[in-house]
Each structure stands twice: as C-alpha cells, then as structure tokens.
C-alpha cells in the first residue's frame, strides 16, 4: 500500500477533512452549490423515472446497468434503487482516490439521493397517472401498473413506454407533424436532454450524478478526452450489457442515445462554462482596473494602444469574466458615467491559471482549470 492510499487511513487526514468541511458550512458558496446539486440530480432522477425505466432502454449509465441487473433478478423499483446506490458506492471510492476529496464528497451526496428521488417521483406523480387519461382498457392498465409491458394482438408492445403514453394525447400536433418519431424515440430524446442537463449542472460545481460520470471524469483526467467523449466511451461499454435483456434493435438505439448524450453534454457544459473576454479602452482605466481586481477579484492585463485616427496613446484592459461579473462591470461603468470603448466575446475554453472565487480561511485560491 503506497503513501497516497495510506493517508486515507490516518486520523490526521480525517481531522483535516472534517475541519475543512466545517469551515465550508459557514460559506454561502457551500449552500448555493448544495441547492444547485440538488436541482441537478432531481432533473436526472426525473429522466430515469419517466423515460429510462419505462422504455426499457439501456443508455450507457449506471442506472441503465442497474435496470439490466434488476430485470435479470426480477427486482422491484425499490431493488433498482438499492442497486444504483451499491454500484455507486464502489465507484465513489475511486472518485476519492483518483479525482479528489471535493469531487468525491459532492458525488456521495448526489449518488445517495438519486435512488430516493426516483422513488419520490413515483410517490408524487407516478407515470401510471397518465394512463388513466388515454387508456380505458382495465387489463392493459393493470399490466402497466404492475410493471409489465402489455402486448397487442400481434405480440408487439402496446406502448413502448408508459412515459410515451403522454404523446398519445398530442399525437395529432406532435407525432403527425412530420417528426416521424415513435414513443421509443421520444423517450430517448427526452431522456438524453434531461440527463445531459443534469450532468452539466453537476460538472459545473465539480460534482457528478455518480456512476458513469465518475468513470467519465477518470477517463477525462488521465486520458485527456473531453467530458462528452468520456461519457460516450464509458456509456458504450455499459450499453452493451443490454444484450442480456433487450433485442439488437433496442441495444443499437441505446448506443445512439449514449452517443447523443456525449454530444449534448458537451454543448451544455460549454454553455455553462462560457466566459466573456472583455477589452476596454478608456482614459479612466485605473478606476476600471481597480474595480476588476479588488471588487470582482479577477486578474487583468494592460496594453498600450495607439488610436489609428487620433494617434493618441491610451491603455487597453483585457480580462476574462463570468457572465455575472461582466454584467456587474457594465453596471459599474454605466453608473459611474465612465466613458469607455468596450468589446466582448464569448470564450468557452480556458487553460492555465484561472482565479476562482474560493476563499478558505481568508485566503483566495488560484487553481488550474
């Protein structure tokens, strides 16, 4: 056992970790991120409950792997929840060892509540409620409520998913409007969109939905693939386990969903992480620089520039800001009647040192993102 692993078994390590957690409890950042993580994982639980479980699709997630195991052993929704938590427990150990304490601790929280939140959706708004609005066949209703997939006279699934039954109410305006999608494809698209949004939200605060996301972060860290590609690689491996319970067509659909998941999560992640590259030319550059450095706690660079028309020398300030910080800067310039020429462009990828708003024990940390 090397020194890196041994540290996790020392009292000093756990004492420092608990002290760090205690200090974090007193910060606004901690509670803000807790709310964000809860919202993100609640969206993920809805995606699993309303679109993944009913459709029997095995998208490349730990939830999908749990569905395979749950189906093979004839389990219940409660069994599914226990499987999700059990598989995540193993991966969480890897998260602490290979990614870091902050990521591991946050993922512990999200992984622990994913199963219960799935059950909560079942208690609050079970998808069988939708069937009463569109199906008047008592036999089919009984099969749906017992978790079975009812078949028509030809032996085909009467409804490819219980969540897809909602479509029957709006099929004239949606399904016959040229989309050409059946219920299964509708479930796939909705699940991918909701799951990708959930994953992007969690990654934004250095957390994850657990399971596959941990594997994806490990691939991302050590093999340097982008997070979307990492999700697709890990998901494709898990998706192949669906051959045990699904036919070839459903497995291929699941692989397509896994590929789409990687693409969409890259889009959402880039959107959430977008920064503003701001260039400002002003005679009052000193005031603007002071506001950026002292109030926004951001770095900036000053360049000497010469006007092409007037030939006058001036100073140009360049800085990278979040969307909120850029709005604050613009408000400051406007409220103080500062005359300035400003250009701004979106920047979705930043490498090297990026000053984060992390204050621990009164110190500002500079970390590498």
Give the pLDDT confidence of 293-312 residue by residue, as tens digits: 999 988 899 999 988 888 88
Burial class for 324, CB neighbours closer than 10 Å (0-12, 13-18, 19+): exposed
Tokens of 184: 């299964």
What token pair was written down for 280? 């400002």
Residue 313 pairs with which residues in a beta bridge? 306
Residue 358 predicted with pLDDT over 50? no
CA distances from 345 to 18, 272, 277, 315 (A): 41, 15, 5, 19
Each domain of the chain, given as residue ranges in start order, spans: 3-130+180-272, 275-368
Q: Which of 343, 342, 324 minimizes the C-alpha distance to 333?
A: 342
Residue 4 Cα distances to 8, 100, 103, 203, 367, angstroms = 8, 12, 17, 25, 21
DSSP code at position 238: H
Which of 157, 178, 159, 156 shows the shortest CA–CA distance to 169?
A: 159
Using CA atoms, how far residue 105 sits from 85, 112, 269, in Å, is 15, 11, 21
Give residue 136's pLDDT.
47
Query: Which tokens is 308 given?
Result: 């092409």
Which residues, listed in sequence order, are joined to residue 281 by a DSSP beta bridge? 316, 341
Please list the helix, strand and coil fractions of the chain in percent, rounded to the nearest 5, in that order.
65, 10, 25
Q: CA 67 to CA 69: how far, in whole Å?
A: 6
**337 pLDDT tier (thresholds 50, 70, 90):** very high
From first CA to last CA, the distance across the chain in angstroms is: 30
Mean per-residue pLDDT of the chain: 76
Give the list of residues 6+ apart from residue 4 with CB closer than 8 angstroms, or none: 97
Buried residues in 263-301 as b, exposed as e (16+ CB within 10 A): ebbbebbbeebebbebbbbbeebeebbebbeeebebebe
Could you read off the pLDDT of 51-80 as tens digits, one per residue?
Answer: 877 766 666 667 667 777 888 887 777 787
Task: Report the C-alpha gap between 112 and 206 in whole angstroms.
Answer: 17
**pLDDT in the model for residue 147:** 52
Tell me which fold the domain 275-368 belongs to: Alpha-Beta Plaits (3.30.70)
Determine the Cα–Cα distance for residues 4 and 306; give it in Å rounded to an integer: 54
pLDDT for residue 169: 39
- Position 289 pLDDT exceeds 90: yes
The whole-number average pLDDT for the span 96-101 is 86
């Amino acid at each position: 056992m090397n020194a890196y692993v041994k540290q996790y078994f020392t009292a000093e390590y756990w004492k420092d970790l608990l002290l760090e957690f205690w200090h974090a409890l007193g910060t606004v950042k901690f509670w803000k991120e807790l709310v964000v993580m809860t919202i993100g994982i609640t969206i993920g639980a809805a995606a699993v409950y309303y679109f993944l479980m009913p459709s029997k699709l095995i998208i490349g997630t730990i939830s999908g792997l749990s569905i395979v195991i749950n189906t093979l052993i004839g389990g219940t929704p409660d069994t599914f929840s226990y499987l999700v938590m059990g598989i995540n427990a193993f991966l969480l150990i890897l998260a602490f060892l290979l990614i870091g304490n902050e990521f591991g601790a946050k993922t512990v929280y999200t992984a622990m509540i994913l199963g219960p939140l799935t059950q909560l959706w079942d208690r609050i708004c079970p998808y069988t409620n939708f069937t009463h609005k569109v199906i008047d066949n008592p036999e089919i209703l009984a099969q749906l409520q017992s978790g079975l997939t009812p078949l028509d006279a030809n032996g085909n699934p009467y409804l490819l998913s219980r969540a897809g039954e909602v479509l029957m109410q709006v099929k004239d305006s949606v399904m016959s409007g040229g989309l050409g999608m059946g219920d299964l494809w509708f479930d796939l698209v909705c699940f991918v969109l909701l799951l990708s949004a959930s994953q992007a939200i969690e990654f934004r605060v250095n957390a994850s939905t657990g399971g596959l996301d941990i594997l994806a972060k490990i691939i991302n860290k050590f093999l340097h693939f982008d997070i979307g590609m990492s999700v697709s690689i890990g998901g494709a491996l898990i998706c192949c386990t669906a051959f045990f319970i699904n036919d070839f067509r459903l497995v291929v659909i699941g692989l397509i969903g896994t590929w789409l998941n990687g693409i969409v999560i890259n889009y959402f992640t880039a959107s959430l992480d977008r920064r503003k590259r701001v260039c400002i030319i002003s005679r009052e550059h000193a005031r603007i620089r002071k506001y950026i450095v002292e109030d926004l706690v951001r770095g900036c660079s000053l360049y000497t520039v010469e006007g092409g028309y007037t030939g006058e020398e001036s100073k140009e300030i360049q800085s990278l800001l979040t969307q909120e910080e850029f709005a604050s800067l613009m408000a400051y310039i406007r409220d103080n009647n500062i005359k300035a020429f400003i250009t701004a462009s979106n920047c979705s990828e930043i490498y090297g040192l990026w000053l984060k708003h992390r204050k621990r024990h009164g110190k500002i940390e500079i970390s590498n993102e």
